Amino acid sequence: MSRARFSMTDLKRAFDIEQMSSVSRIQHDFWPLDEIDPKNAKFPCCIVWTPLPVVSWLAPFIGHVGICREDGVILDFAGSNFVNVDDFAFGAAARYLQLDRNQCCFPPNLSGHTCKQGYMHAEFGTAMTWDDTLQSSFRHFEHRSYNLFTCNCHSFVANCLNRLCYRGSMSWNMISVAALILFKGSWINFLSIIKSFLPFTVVLCLGLLLVGWPFLIGLFSFSLLLMGWYVLGTYCFKNLLEC
C-alpha cells in the first residue's frame, strides 16, 4: 500500500516537473517578429526616438521616446493621463533600437523568475509576455501627470524596461534610457539625421551671427543645467523624478 502511494506521488511530481518545463519552454519560445518597417511606423520590440520641437533645437541630444509592442505599434507617454497608441507624438521616428526578448524575464508563475531580482521584480509588477508588460505600464501611466522635468516619456520607457527586468536590471531610469538609444540606436535614414540636427545647426549659426560667442556660452550653460538636473534628480534625489 505504502509502495503504491509512493509511486503515485513520484508520478505526480514527475508530471508537475514536466508541466512546468513545458510552460517554461512556451514562455521562451517567442513568436517571430515582423521586419522593421519605418515607412508604416512599425518597429517590433523597439525603443524609438524623435527630436522635440524647440527643446531639441537647443539640445539635440534630448528628444521624445516610445516603446513598441511585438506587432510594431508604438506606445508613448505624451501628456498627463495619456499614452499614445500607434500615433507617435512629435512626428515620425528618427532612431530606433530593437531589444532582445531573450534578455527579459517572463516568469510563468510568481516563483519562476529567471532573473536575480525575483522578489523585487514580483513586487514591482511582472507579466508573462512582452505586450502584457507594456500594457501594465500603459495602465500605470494613464493616471500620471506629464512633466518634462520630472515624469516624461523616458520615465514610461524606463518603467517598461524595469517590468521586463531587461538585461537583468531593474534600475532603468531617464538617463539610462536616453543613453541606450543615444549610443546604441540606429538612424532610420540620412534624412532623419538632417531632421534631428538641422534646426540646431540653424539656431547655432543664427545665434553666433546675431549675438556672438555669448550665445554659445549661454547655449552650453542651458544644456549643462538641463543635464545636471536630470543626473542629480535621478541619482542624488531619486524621489524628485519618480512617477
Task: Evaluate whether residue 4 is within a structural domain.
Answer: no
Reading the block at residue 6, the C-alpha cell is 509512493
Q: Which amino acid is present at 7? A: S
| 71-82 tens-digit pLDDT | 999 999 999 999
First to last CA, the chain: 60
Dist. CA 47–CA 70, nearest whole Å: 12
Task: Evaluate whether residue 222 is within a structural domain.
Answer: yes
Task: Evaluate whether residue 21 is within a structural domain.
Answer: no
Task: Evaluate whether residue 197 is within a structural domain.
Answer: yes
- Banded pLDDT at 240 (limits 50, 70, 90): confident
| 209-235 tens-digit pLDDT | 999 899 999 999 999 999 999 998 888
Task: Evaluate whether residue 38 is within a structural domain.
Answer: no
| Segments forming the whole domain that contains residue 139 | 46-240
| 168-213 tens-digit pLDDT | 999 999 999 999 999 999 999 999 999 999 999 999 999 999 998 9
Quick check: 114 and 107 in contact, CB under 8 A?
yes
Q: Structure pTM?
A: 0.85
DSSP secondary structure letter of residue 48: E
Closest alpha carbon to 50 in 33, 73, 70, 66: 66
Task: Evaluate whether residue 39 is within a structural domain.
Answer: no
Number of folded domains in the chain? 1
Quick check: 204 and 219 in contact, CB under 8 A?
yes
Task: Evaluate whether residue 183 is within a structural domain.
Answer: yes
222 to each of 49, 158, 209, 219, how far by Cα in Å? Answer: 22, 25, 19, 5
Please classify residue 223 by burial: count the beta carbons closer than 10 Å to its beta carbon, then call 0-12 exposed, 13-18 middle and 19+ buried.
middle
Task: Evaluate whether residue 165 is within a structural domain.
Answer: yes
